[in-house]
Amino acid sequence: MQLNTELVNKAIDMGFEYAPKLGSAILVLIIGLFIVKLFSKGFDSMLNKGNTDASLKPFLSGIVNILLKVLLFITVLGMIGIEMTSFIAILGAAGLAIGMALSGTLQNFAGGVMILIFKPYKVGDFIEAQGFAGTVSQIQIFNTILRTGDFKTIIIPNGSLNNASMVNYSKEPRRRVDWTFGIAYGDDADVAKRVIKELCDADDRILKDPEVFIALHSLADSSVNFVVRAWVKSSDYWPVYFAMNESVYKTFPKENLNIPFPQMDVHVHKSES
């Protein structure tokens, strides 16, 4: 009975000792989270006003938000009475274990840092990587977000983007457009070259320097094929590509040029009985 009384008294004494600390810590935590939220919004506004690179904005915002919350939690734990030296030692050991368990996540973080430093691509670039192609909409701490032409969202880990091959179609201001146009055997090859050249010259989006290249490429099974190579601004690639296909399809017949297609001749032999 006396032992129970002592335990109750000790529990009451500890309650009186730690209750104010716990209450203060909870209050600081609530107020701190509110302040961190306000500071994060202010930091975002500062980045927007400072014309910061769009690739850096989500990354910096995420880092600042995480650091502020870590500092807040360390402060709250110190208010409760937890020895910070012991806590830091435990945190270090736990961090090592977590780091080994989350090696892939850390690799993605490191990949994000490398991407932002060396800038193989930025927000707004059209890239192809990991079997996907789309426009970069965000570069986050761990992932890069792509938006496809049909408005699908593709999330690719930064680690794989940093360590694998990638094609950036927006890096250079110009791109070369390649076509292969076929005419039927017996059609005038010189007329075909002239018509293609006139169609290219009529499109102002096709650059004059370098000059358009037109040559007879191959004598195929069903057609005589011409290769055409022209340079355009990167943003004009697909509009020019589709427009030229349509122009050739409409103009060739007017110039007595036939667009061939695979055909098969079937000969039926009637056997005599």
Would you give per-residue pLDDT tens digits along the chain (273 residues)? 544 566 555 656 555 556 666 777 778 778 888 888 888 787 777 767 766 666 666 767 777 777 888 787 777 777 776 666 655 666 666 665 555 555 567 788 888 888 888 888 988 899 999 889 999 998 888 889 999 988 899 999 998 888 888 999 988 999 999 999 999 999 999 999 999 999 999 999 999 999 999 999 999 988 999 999 999 999 899 999 999 999 999 999 999 999 887 766 677 777 665
Helix (H, G, I), strand (E, B) or coil at 211: coil
**Cross-sheet strand order for the sheet of 174-183:** 174-183, 224-233, 213-219
Give which of 233, 239, 236 is closest to 172, Cα–Cα. 233
**8 Å CB contact between 186 and 242:** no
3-state helix, strand, coil in the chain (%, to 5): 55, 20, 25
